[in-house]
A and B are shown apart, each in its own frame.
Chain A
Amino acid sequence: DTGVSQNPRHKITKRGQNVTFRCDPISEHNRLYWYRQTLGQGPEFLTYFQNEAQLEKSRLLSDRFSAERPKGSFSTLEIQRTEQGDSAMYLCASSLVQPSYNEQFFGPGTRLTVL
């Protein structure tokens, strides 16, 4: 296993279009996280899954955002009706559940540019 992978690495879209990103976690990891990183800022938490269950969502995750993790494996993050303010790097991370805290391993990110 080569770590967390994300596709696509770059996405350019026009305002109002829908986009979908994919994250493949490390295979034995049952927790999966999405973060958003804008220029000059640290990553901000969006949501996380334990297996297929979405357990927590940030207030940053507006109604235009939806995330899924069918079968507890890969995850998708969809943004509908994109806005210029959605331009950012979208990072995925995965971890084990036990012991009490496990390192989150990050993917390379998907850079979204909304024109």
Chain B
Amino acid sequence: AQTVTQSQPEMSVQEAETVTLSCTYDTSESDYYLFWYKQPPSRQMILVIRQEAYKQQNATENRFSVNFQKAAKSFSLKISDSQLGDAAMYFCAHVAGSYQLTFGKGTKLSVIP
């Protein structure tokens, strides 16, 4: 069974600064994908970034980047130049084989003006 652990229930960051959200996972699969989803208050979940396990290069999407450490089963999200609109719940998720996403408990990110 896959598990995803987010050890930081809440984080805060000053506007324009950088913040890193942590995620570890456990899987017996060799072929899998990892994701970070953003869920703003009362709004729907959207995909922030994805990483294919077979790719060694870390994924980057504009201000969002990941640090994927496959041997350590670690998948952290770095948000650079934080903006007020980045405030949300962030969920780390894993999928392999059956396409059902396994989510962590989430990290609530606050952005301080």
Contacts and interface: CB of A to CB of B under 8 A. Distances in A.
Contact of A103 (B50, B103, B104, B105): B50
Contacts of A95: 99
Q: Which applies to chain A's interface (DSSP): helix, strand, loop or mixed?
A: loop
A68 to B, nearest CB: 19
A65 interface: no
B91 interface: yes
B102 interface: yes
A109 B89 CA distance: 15
A88 B4 CA distance: 20
A42 B91 contact: yes
Contacts of B101: 33, 35, 43, 45, 104
B93 A42 contact: yes
A103 B47 contact: yes
Interface in B33-67: 33, 37, 43-47, 50
Interface in A72-115: 91, 95, 101, 103-104, 106-109
B105 A109 contact: no
A3 B44 CA distance: 10
A43 to B, nearest CB: 5
B43 A42 contact: no
Interface residues of B, number: 21
| Interface range on chain A (Cβ under 8 Å from partner) | 20 to 34
B30 interface: no
B95 interface: yes
A62 interface: no
A33 B37 CA distance: 16
A108 B44 contact: yes
Contacts of B104: 42
Contact of B43 (A35, A43, A45, A108): A108
B44 A56 contact: no
B44 A107 contact: yes
Given A42-B91, A43-B103, A45-B101, 5 more contacts: A3-B44, A42-B104, A43-B101, A95-B99, A106-B37
Interface of A: 3-4, 31, 33, 35, 40-45, 48, 56, 58, 91, 95, 101, 103-104, 106-109
